[in-house]
Amino acid sequence: MNPDSKKWNLRLYVAGQTPKSIVALANLKRICDEHMSGQYRIEVIDLMENPQLARRDQIVAIPTLIRELPSPIKRIIGDLSNTERVLVGLDVAAPG
């Protein structure tokens, strides 16, 4: 594994600074740091500011996490409080 290349490219869709959004982002950061340290990039998209992106990216539930890379695209919804399910969703088998 090359530590320089960002293996994980993640996008988190939120709608304003709601408690669920804040929790989700915190959970995501924690999981990434624990399981894909240094190999991830997180982009947070606030649909309140760019509502048209919801249609483009087929967002229904908030918060939604999309794994752009590695392909295939994966979707995870919810506040990411269930770490195990997030790992399954992101296809992260083992740390590192």
Partner 1 sequence: MEETQLDQGAPVSIPGIQKALTGIPGFDEITSGGLPAGRPTLVCGGPGCGKTLFAMQFLVAGATRYGEPGVFMSFEESSEELAKNVASLGFDLDDLVARELLAMDTVMVERSEIEETGEYDLEGLFLRLDFAISSVGARRVVLDTIESLFAGFSNQAILRAELRRLFRFLKERGVTVVLTGERGDGQLTRQGLEEYVSDCVVLLDHRVNEQVSTRRLRIVKYRGSSHGTNEYPFIIDRLGLDVLPVTALQLRHSASAERISSGIPGLDAMLGGQGFFRGTSILVSGTAGTGKSTISAYFADAACRRGERCLYFALEESPAQIVRNMRSVGLDLEPWVQRGLLEFQASRPTLFGLEMHLVTIFRAVQELDPQVVVVDPLSNLSAVGSENEVMAALLRLVDFLKSRQVTALFVSLTGNGDAENATELGVSSLMDTWLSLRNLESNGERNRGLYVLKSRGMKHSNQIREFLLTGHGVELVNVAVGAEGILTGSARLSQEARERAESALRREEIETLQRRLDRRRAGLEAQISSLRAELETEEEEVAKRIRQVARQEQDRLTERAAIASARQGENGMLAEDPIAAEERTPAPSKGSPRSTRRQPS
On the question of a cis peptide bond just before residue 70, with omega within 30 degrees of 0, the verdict is: yes
Contact pattern from residue 44 through residue 73 relative to partner 1, giving x for each residue in contact according to CB under 8 A and a dash for the rest = ---xx--xx-xx--xxxxxxx--------x
> What are 89's two structure tokens?
């969703």
Cβ contacts of 75 within 8 Å, gap of 6 or more: 64, 65, 66, 67, 89
CB nearer partner 1, residue 3 or residue 85: 85
Instruction: Provide the minimum distance between the beta carbon of 31 and partner 1 in the complex, in angstroms, as a whole number.
Output: 10
Contact status: 78 vs partner 1 (CB under 8 A)? yes
Contact status: 40 vs partner 1 (CB under 8 A)? no
